[in-house]
A and B are shown apart, each in its own frame.
Chain A
Amino acid sequence: MDENITLPPNIEDIPPPGLALVEELDKLLLVQLRDGRKIIGTLRSFDQFANLVLSDSKERIIVAEQYAEIPLGLHVVRGENVVLLGELDAAREPPPGLQLVSEAAIKQAQRAEREADKLKGTLRSRFFDFLDDI
């Protein structure tokens, strides 16, 4: 490493190493992950990769008009899995038109939804298997 580091003429001209999420610190945020999950938590720390530390976090699962929140506690989220961070509008929290249900109920609804999707997928793969046979 060069030990003779000199400051640029105008330090303001040098961009910060990643968009400062300073304004978001200690705010309640919704973090959407690449696998589609949504985590709600208070932002406590971040770095240039958008690695995040969230406290009192919970996963919010929405299926049709129902939702549930599953407590997760303190979480470190790896930056590459972050799609977006949303600032929540307290006046529109929780999202209007959604009904809070239990963890068990939402998991059941999620399973039913997955089964329906899988059925579609099976039809699809069966068709492609059929194509392979001819």
Chain B
Amino acid sequence: MLFYSYFKTLVGKEVTVELKNNLAITGTLHSVDQYLNIKLNNIRVVDERKYPHMLSVRACFVRGSVVRYVQLPPGSVDVELLHDATRREARGG
């Protein structure tokens, strides 16, 4: 539940989700669930011309299983908090 809890703290922030098919979408994080499915609002696609079908899409749901990376906003990464949470999780918490 570590990353689910962490992503919940990012709701309202801007993130870039990079998919396994190389599509990269920047948008405001609207919500996340325990599978790390992600909903984004006000999206824009990196390299839009390559993905014309996304031109008319303004909000989207991304299935967690197709995510490769999520670029996180630097201001909202509390590394101490992450270390503590990770150690707690590793202990079987």
A83 touches B35 (CB 8 A): no
How many A-B contacts if CB must be within 8 Å?
Answer: 83
A71 CB within 8 Å of chain B: no
Q: How many residues of A contact B (CB 8 A)?
A: 32
CA–CA, A84 and B27, complex, Å: 14
Measured CB to CB, the nearest residue on chain B to A37 is: B53
Residues of A close to B34: CB separation below 8 A: 15, 18
CA–CA, A96 and B35, complex, Å: 34
Known: A34-B66, A36-B21, A50-B37. A88 touches B53 (CB 8 A): no
Where the two chains meet, the residues of A that have a C-beta atom closer than 8 Å to any C-beta of B are: 15-16, 18-19, 21, 24, 30, 32, 34, 36, 38, 48, 50, 60, 62, 79-80, 82-89, 92-98
